[in-house]
Amino acid sequence: MRAAIAAAMTRSKREIPHYYLGSEIDVERALQWLERFNEARPLAGRVLFAAFALRAVALALREVPDLNGQFVDGRFRRSESIHVGVVTSLRGGGIVVPAVHDADRLALPELMAALRDVLARARSGRLRSSDLADSTITVTNLGDLGVETVFGVIYPPQVALVGLGRVAARPAVRDGAIVASRTMNATLSGDHRVTDGLTGARFLAALRARFEDPEAS
């Protein structure tokens, strides 16, 4: 496992000229909306914030598709489908990156079910080859462990990785007053062979909009 991770990450840092962007995103409205959404749902059917975040990433990719795909044989191949790879830690050590397929087309409850399924199969060693081969972007979320900001290494042959940090109440200015609002640091690692910082900034702006206007998501 460590040898496979080392080979992939060494290849990534050797071949991919990374650029990094970060943005603090106000997620207060999204969390409040999600709490209301879950009120009428049974406990086992409630949607976690992680699923909302994955869908937000997928919908942002619809607006900025140049980050969605793979770099193969010296050129970028944009994917019409959005398959979000989720970095998953294994109980015995190491990580895998299974995909949630067509994440932009799934309603939140469906995406939550798909996420639960793929994580359960990853941790029990029952992943299919398609789970690991066709992701078009990766998301790594270390916020639950208290990490503020994640600057990830792109998983080749993909061309972008989104890092999500912890959600915490921080001072924010609204209508001229300082209030406590829950925010999260989101980062993008991009492949400079395919896109530039302007594209990455557009993606982070689209991602921010998904969180700040959850009704539209």
Residue 213 is a catalytic residue = no
Give the DSSP per-residue string, the chain: -HHHHHHHHHHHHHH--EEEEEEEEE-HHHHHHHHHHHHTS-GGGPPPHHHHHHHHHHHHHHH-GGGSEEEETTEEEE-SS--EEE-EE-TTS-EE--EETTTTTS-HHHHHHHHHHHHHHHHTT---HHHHH--SEEEEE-GGGT-S---PPP-TTBSEEEEEEEEEEEEEEETTEEEEEEEEEEEEEEETTT--HHHHHHHHHHHHHHHH-GGG-
Q: Which of 66, 101, 191, 192 is catalytic?
A: 192
Can 101 be counted among the known catalytic residues?
A: no
Tokens 């921010």 identify what position? 208
Inter-residue contact 24 to 183 (CB < 8 Å): yes
Q: Is 26 exposed, middle or buried (0-12, 13-18, 19+ CB in 10 A)?
A: middle
Catalytic pick from 117, 144, 196, 213?
196
So which residues are the catalytic ones? 192, 196
